Structure 1
Amino acid sequence: MRGEASRVADRESRDSFAAKLRASGDDAWQIGDELFGITCTLDHNPRLQRALTDPGRPVADKVKLLNELIGGKVQPMTMEIMTDLVSRSWSRAYDIDNATEDFAVDAMMYQADKDGVTLRVSIELAELQSALLNLPVVRADLSNSDSPIQARYDLLHALIGNEDFSKITVRLATHSTRNPRNRRYLQTIQWLINKFSRHMGESMVTVTTAAPLTDAQSERLAQIYSKKVGRPVHIHSVVDETVMGGMRIQMGDEVTDNTVVAQLQNLKRTVKAGTND
């Protein structure tokens, strides 16, 4: 969890650049790509993190170091963003990495807006998440930072296969495995889904059932959750025969599991607790 200084620095910096990023057109893709690369560099260089966030170091020195690292190699706005970040106060050195990643995702969302694929990217991320639900070994391999980067990259693209995913979806999914950032792969994908949902004012509700939802069920669930959150929602249906029946509904971090398998597990725990008594 970030400290107060870092939360303020992240939010104020991103707010100050929102309009510029939105207006950057096709440059948003490259800006986001460069910021993902910088995030990875910072993650693997704690000394660099500390040098760029040291409160006792003059801002001019930090900007000079930044220029030595990326000056003339990145988009002007990428340099502006990083200059702004190193001039702010941070609770912990590595929080600047989180802020840089947040900016990278913001840039990709604005590129998605320009391309008219924001909802598509959110749905594709949910489809990727669904595909991995029953592949625990693949999920573990994608999250394993000790595994060679190229091996993780190849595994992801073998999983995606010939799916006609947006280049933005592919870049986000690639970042999630090439630079796990001490997170589980599915955790990162859910985080991205949530960010896209908030960005477009729509929530992604994932409904897992043993058989496909009917149109009437999807419409009813959309009405219920739209009323609950006060904005439109998109119902993403996942079919998983192992749940046996009922529904598992996830919206962000909130999960309601009324599947048969969950009820059986609860019953088993209750019986076991009664036996122990």
Structure 2
Amino acid sequence: MSSATRQSNAAARERLEALTDSTSVDTSALAADLLAVTAVLDREIGLRRTLTDPATAGQRKADLVTALFSGKISAIAVDLVSGMVRSRWSAPRDLVDSVEQQAAYAEIIGADKAGALDEVEDELFRFGRVVAGSTELRAALTDNAASNAAKAALVQRLLGGKAKPATLQLVTALVTQPRGRSLEGGLEEYSRLAAGRRGRVVALVTTAVPLSDSQKERLGASLARLVGRPVHLNIDVDPSVLGGVRVQIGDEIIEGTIANRLDGARQGLAG
């Protein structure tokens, strides 16, 4: 992400935070409006080029947003997108990506206000693990030949009444508007957004057996001291690691499993 896009994305995030500070704002409805804008910008190449053209005055671009979307989406969504097109973007796609990200973040803000953000983080992780373990399910959710209505209905059958509304909406948005992302990649992105709302980082922890609550607390505290920020643990139980713990935070991996030690020993013997 370029410096210009990074700054513009951060400004959009701050504006979204300010706009949703009022308890009267329906964050889920706002998210739906922003996804509708995402779909239009994704489809209309000329429009997104115009809205990111540095030679066009910001107010003119904002006026175009107002003319196109007023009466079709909420005033708060128009306000947010109008502000975004006044900013500088390194590439037209960056604006589309950011509008979509603000839609996801609006859902996350709503979950946080409802006291359900931890559950949403866990549900996104567990759903990702379910998808990773079922080739058939993943194929059904990513089938380009299937209609969006059919994929949304499948998500509803899987998560409706079982997961938080924000989780349901986020997964539905991902399978109906993947925009070139993998399902797993999109779920990981949402997890990072959710963790970022609390100023946390996400650690994927792989163990041979489930950890007790006290073990999770100790591990979380140790990792927080290591990275200097609070850590949200996503626990994946995998008997093949035999014992020990494997931790991944971003691109960094802390490997302490017995299986890895055995592999190292085998390689040493083979050498």
| TM bracket (short chain) | 0.7 to 0.9
CA distance, structure 1, for counterparts of residue 267 and residue 140 of structure 2 = 31
Residue 118 of structure 1 contacts residue 200 of structure 1 at CA under 8 Å; is this kept in 2?
A: no
Report the secondary structure of 1:9's partner residue.
helix
1:21-62 deviation per Cα after TM superposition (whole angstroms, max 9, x unaligned): 222534222112211221122222222211222223344543
Which amino acid in the other structure matches residue 203 of structure 1? V
CA distance, structure 2, for counterparts of residue 120 and residue 145 of structure 1 = 30
The residue number in structure 1 matching 2:194 is 196
CA distance, structure 2, for counterparts of residue 169 and residue 42 of structure 1 = 24
Following TM superposition, by how much is the alpha carbon of 1:141 offset from its aligned partner in structure 2, in angstroms?
4.6
User: Identity percentage over the alignment?
Assistant: 29
1:163-206 deviation per Cα after TM superposition (whole angstroms, max 9, x unaligned): 2x110111111111111121111111111111111211333433
Residue 194 of structure 1 contacts residue 252 of structure 1 at CA under 8 Å; is this kept in 2?
A: no
Residue correspondence of structure 1 range 202-213 to structure 2 within 5 A: 202-213=200-211
The residue number in structure 2 matching 1:79 is 78
Aligned: 1:126 with 2:125:
yes
CA distance, structure 1, for counterparts of residue 99 and residue 220 of structure 2 = 34
Equivalent of 1:215 in 210, 213, 216:
213
Query: In the superposition, relative to structure 1, how do residues 4 and 157 fare at CA in structure 2: closer, same or farther (>3 Å)?
Result: same
The residue number in structure 1 matching 2:175 is 177
Residue 142 of structure 1 contacts residue 152 of structure 1 at CA under 8 Å; is this kept in 2?
A: yes
Following TM superposition, by how much is the alpha carbon of 1:79 offset from its aligned partner in structure 2, in angstroms?
0.5
Residue 145 of structure 1 contacts residue 179 of structure 1 at CA under 8 Å; is this kept in 2?
A: no
The residue number in structure 1 matching 2:164 is 166
Which amino acid in the other structure matches residue 205 of structure 1? A
CA distance, structure 2, for counterparts of residue 97 and residue 265 of structure 1 = 44
Report the secondary structure of 2:204's partner residue.
strand
Following TM superposition, by how much is the alpha carbon of 1:145 offset from its aligned partner in structure 2, in angstroms?
4.7
CA distance, structure 1, for counterparts of residue 266 and residue 40 of structure 2 = 48
Report the secondary structure of 1:213's partner residue.
coil
Query: In the superposition, relative to structure 1, how do residues 17 and 210 fare at CA in structure 2: closer, same or farther (>3 Å)?
Result: closer
CA distance, structure 1, for counterparts of residue 197 and residue 11 of structure 2 = 17
Following TM superposition, by how much is the alpha carbon of 1:267 offset from its aligned partner in structure 2, in angstroms?
6.7
Larger deviation: 35-44 or 245-254? 245-254
CA distance, structure 2, for counterparts of residue 73 and residue 42 of structure 1 = 15
Following TM superposition, by how much is the alpha carbon of 1:266 offset from its aligned partner in structure 2, in angstroms?
6.2
Following TM superposition, by how much is the alpha carbon of 1:244 offset from its aligned partner in structure 2, in angstroms?
4.0
Query: In the superposition, relative to structure 1, how do residues 44 and 108 fare at CA in structure 2: closer, same or farther (>3 Å)?
Result: same
Normalised TM-score (structure 2) = 0.85
Residue 195 of structure 2 contacts residue 232 of structure 2 at CA under 8 Å; is this kept in 1?
A: no
1:121-144 deviation per Cα after TM superposition (whole angstroms, max 9, x unaligned): 112212222323323453355345
Structure 2: gaps spanning 5 or more residues: none
Following TM superposition, by how much is the alpha carbon of 1:93 offset from its aligned partner in structure 2, in angstroms?
0.8
Aligned residues, how many? 271
Query: In the superposition, relative to structure 1, how do residues 161 and 239 fare at CA in structure 2: closer, same or farther (>3 Å)?
Result: farther
CA distance, structure 1, for counterparts of residue 145 and residue 158 of structure 2 = 20
Following TM superposition, by how much is the alpha carbon of 1:70 offset from its aligned partner in structure 2, in angstroms?
1.3
CA distance, structure 1, for counterparts of residue 30 and residue 158 of structure 2 = 27
The residue number in structure 1 matching 2:114 is 115
Larger deviation: 166-175 or 235-244? 235-244
Report the secondary structure of 2:189's partner residue.
helix
Residue 28 of structure 1 contacts residue 111 of structure 1 at CA under 8 Å; is this kept in 2?
A: yes
1:60-110 deviation per Cα after TM superposition (whole angstroms, max 9, x unaligned): 543343234311121111011111112222111111112212221232222
The residue number in structure 2 matching 1:232 is 230
Normalised TM-score (structure 1) = 0.83
Alignment RMSD: 2.8
Which amino acid in the other structure matches residue 255 of structure 1? I
Which amino acid in the other structure matches residue 173 of structure 1? V
Report the secondary structure of 1:168's partner residue.
helix
